[in-house]
A and B are shown apart, each in its own frame.
Chain A
Amino acid sequence: MTAIRFLVNGAPVELEAPGMRRLLDVLREDLGLTGTKEGCGEGECGACSVILDGDVVDSCLIPACQVDGRIIRTVEGLAALTPDGRILDDLQAAFLATGGAQCGICTPGMLLAARVYLDAGGGPDEDAIREAIAGNLCRCTGYTKIVEAIALAAETGRRPAGA
């Protein structure tokens, strides 16, 4: 067992876990953050995507010992918590608007891959969006609605505040 400390969605956590436990299992089993999904367990599908120090990564491929001291963002950290309740992130709102989610298994990973893409200045260009989510598989939507959602969020995010 190793003592592991990191930030999840802005909150510090500290736990004792085997250093080779998958970050995916730490999040879901130890911390109860079940928004992060397991699809393949081998890096192919992106359902387990989280943001680690600003980069999108597959949490099924990351041992707990490598996140000590790091900053993690999961899908639970996307919506803003305000006194009036949760306010959805632009991307979440856009997925709702376009029908970008069906069964929802791929959605948390899609949202986080897309979040990193937009945060890096990505725009509504379809090819660029498809490259950004190439590591995230969806069995339901056929991707079109997902690409539309990300493009929509890219447009929304570009509007000046209050517009």
Chain B
Amino acid sequence: MPVEPPVETPRDLAEAFRLMALSPRTPIAGGTDLMVRITGEIGSPPDQVLDLSRLEELRGIALEDGRLTLGALTTYAEIRRSGLVARSLPVLAEAAATVGAVQIQNRGTLGGNIANASPAGDTLPLLLALEAVIEVGGARGERSIPADQFWIAYRTTALAPDELVLRVRIPLVEARQVRFRKVGTRRAQAISKVVLALAWEQADRKDRWSHVRLALGSVADRPIRARSTELYLEGSRATLETADGAAETVAAEIRPIDDVRSTADYRRQVTARILHRIIRDAGGW
């Protein structure tokens, strides 16, 4: 039988912060990562759990000051259904649609994906490429952490033990193009072999690319930005030479590993190919 650790269900954020300050508790949101741990087969079960599911403050999707704000408890199903997301940031709905299958999308949350900090977490490269800001908080107050400072080591985040992920803010940029690609064994229910998110700014298709952001999942011990490749692409046009050069640069830049899901070699080649293809499609050749 699975372990059944004690759990408390705070009714508002202030109570949640107070409990977290009292002694460390493991939060549960949708439970799609945490409940797998209580069987004790994968990782160790938590000692004490804090159920976030009744915290209305952590729900909802809104547009505020040119930024899309998503509460930590926002599920993949809510992202897919949201008219606001469809209008302002459709790539996020595209990414949400690749997570698990419908049962997982109905329960799994954005905050859970962020806090779980898996190197294969599918939304994380997208949050990096979009320069999202993760807002966290606890009894000592709230603070904002840029996505590229959030996943600091293997399965380790910048969260303090008494802090919760509260919401994510994603700046909406007029001339920004964004692409998201996930490669897994099958379309549903597959942990990624490679996830790639690419963003750049360009007023017109013929323009040079600026503000290029390339982020990758499953190719390192955490989701990463590929900064050499970003630099390579900055100021370029989507030509064959650019695509070839960027593919070569990214293949040299990343250090993926062999594991049960894939090999380092496959991951390096696939990453390069996906990037090449995105640039080709953007160039329209």
Inter-subunit contact B189/A135 (CB<8 Å): yes
Nearest residue in B to A48 (C-beta to C-beta)? B103
- Residues of chain B contacted by A57 (CB below 8 angstroms): 103, 106-107
Give the contacts of B180-210 with A (CB-CB under 8 A): 187-189
B5 contacts which of A20, A62, A116, A134 (Cβ < 8 Å)? A20
Given the known interface contacts A43-B32, A58-B103, A135-B102, the answer about A63 and B7 at a Cβ–Cβ threshold of 8 Å is yes
**Nearest CB on A from B11, distance (A):** 12
Inter-subunit contact A61/B7 (CB<8 Å): no
Q: Does A118 contact B (CB under 8 A)?
A: no
The interface residues of chain A, by DSSP majority, are classed as: mixed
Inter-subunit contact A42/B77 (CB<8 Å): no
The interface residues of chain B, by DSSP majority, are classed as: loop
Complex: A52 Cα to B106 Cα, angstroms? 10
**Nearest CB on A from B188, distance (A):** 3
Interface size class of A (residues with CB under 8 A): 20 to 34
B106 contacts which of A42, A56, A65, A134 (Cβ < 8 Å)? A56
- Residues of chain A contacted by B161 (CB below 8 angstroms): none
**Nearest CB on A from B100, distance (A):** 7
Inter-subunit contact A63/B51 (CB<8 Å): yes
Inter-subunit contact B35/A62 (CB<8 Å): yes
Most chain B CB inside 10 Å of its own CB: which residue of A2, A49, A65, A132: A65
Q: Does B101 contact A (CB under 8 A)?
A: yes
Q: Does A35 contact B (CB under 8 A)?
A: no
* Residues in chain A within 8 A of chain B (CB atoms): 2, 18-22, 25, 41-44, 46, 49, 52, 55-58, 60-63, 65-66, 68, 113, 116, 131-132, 134-136
Show 16 residue pairs from A and B whose CB-CB distance is below 8 angstroms, ordered by the A residue. Answer: A19-B7, A20-B4, A20-B7, A20-B38, A20-B49, A41-B39, A46-B103, A57-B107, A61-B32, A61-B103, A63-B7, A63-B51, A65-B53, A66-B28, A135-B101, A135-B102
